[in-house]
């Protein structure tokens, strides 16, 4: 069975992944054409035109291999995987702390990470990702969005791009499996992350 499961509509892919969590394998993906209650950090909503962008969640299962104090590694896996994908398209992106991917002064991707703790360990994680792929117009109250299509001037196949993005995230996950890889993840992350003043 494919690691990427496509569904037409859900409240949010993070909620969908949580409901299915026990039945999903490590590195499974739930990708939706439309979310009715997509959300970001805190009480922020995520605006995405149905069928235009990549709205999905990645399930990671760590068992007892990740201390809660090292949870930043999950952010490294997600953000660097997305950045790798964009770089392959000729798009230079940076990570706005803690959960956005920006190109210059515009937001191209948002991330929401929800962890399950078991004692001092992170047992599992659901990484919700919204990447602006084909959408070109947003409501006026969305301050600074941009999409891959805006930047490159073409339309993209969502299923093909989802596989490409997934492969980049999976490659970053493989780095997490070794101590040397974990160190490199954090070093690279430190070079591309910034905070607004």
CB atoms within 10 A of CB 180: 8
Which phi and psi (to 5°) does residue 145 adopt? -80, 155
Comparing C-alpha atoms, which of 158, 160, 129, 165 is closest to residue 55?
Answer: 129
Residue located via tokens 């659901």: 126
pLDDT of residue 1: 53
Cα 23–Cα 28–Cα 30 angle in degrees, nearest 5: 90
Cα–Cα distance, 10 to 38 (Å, whole number): 9
Cα–Cα distance, 136 to 104 (Å, whole number): 17
CA 170 vs CA 58, 64, 118: distances in Å: 10, 19, 24
pLDDT of residue 143: 82
pLDDT of residue 185: 98
Cα–Cα distance, 192 to 97 (Å, whole number): 10
Q: Characterize 21-57 residue by residue with b for buried, 16 or more Cβ atoms within 10 angstroms of its Cβ, and e for exposed.
A: eeebeebbbbbbbebeebbbeeeeebbbeeebbbbbb
pLDDT of residue 129: 97
pLDDT of residue 63: 87
pLDDT of residue 43: 55
Question: Tokens representing 80?
Answer: 């660097």
Q: Are 61 and 169 in contact (CB under 8 A)?
A: no
Cα–Cα distance, 79 to 172 (Å, whole number): 9
pLDDT of residue 39: 61
pLDDT of residue 131: 97
Question: One digit per residue, pLDDT tens: the chain, 197 residues?
Answer: 589 999 999 999 999 999 999 999 999 999 999 998 866 555 556 678 889 999 999 999 998 889 999 999 999 999 999 999 999 999 999 999 988 999 999 999 999 999 999 999 999 999 999 999 999 988 888 889 999 999 999 999 999 999 999 999 999 999 999 999 999 999 999 999 999 87
């Amino acid at each position: 069975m494919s690691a990427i499961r496509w569904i037409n509509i859900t409240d949010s892919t993070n909620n969908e992944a949580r409901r299915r969590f026990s039945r999903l394998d490590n590195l499974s993906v739930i990708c939706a054409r439309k979310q009715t209650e997509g959300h970001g950090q805190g009480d922020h909503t995520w605006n995405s035109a149905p069928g235009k962008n990549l709205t999905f969640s990645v399930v990671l299962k760590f068992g007892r291999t990740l201390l809660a104090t090292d949870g930043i590694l999950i952010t490294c896996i997600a953000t660097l995987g997305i950045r790798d994908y964009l770089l392959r398209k000729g798009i230079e992106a940076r990570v706005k702390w803690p959960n956005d991917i920006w190109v210059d002064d515009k937001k191209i991707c948002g991330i929401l990470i929800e962890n399950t703790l078991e004692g001092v360990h992170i047992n599992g994680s659901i990484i919700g990702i919204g990447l602006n792929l084909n959408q070109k117009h947003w409501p006026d109250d969305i301050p600074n969005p941009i999409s891959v299509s805006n930047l490159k001037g073409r339309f993209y196949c969502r299923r093909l791009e989802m596989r490409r993005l997934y492969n980049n995230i999976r490659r970053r996950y493989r780095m997490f499996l070794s101590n040397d890889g974990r160190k490199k993840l954090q070093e690279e992350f430190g070079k591309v992350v910034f905070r607004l003043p």
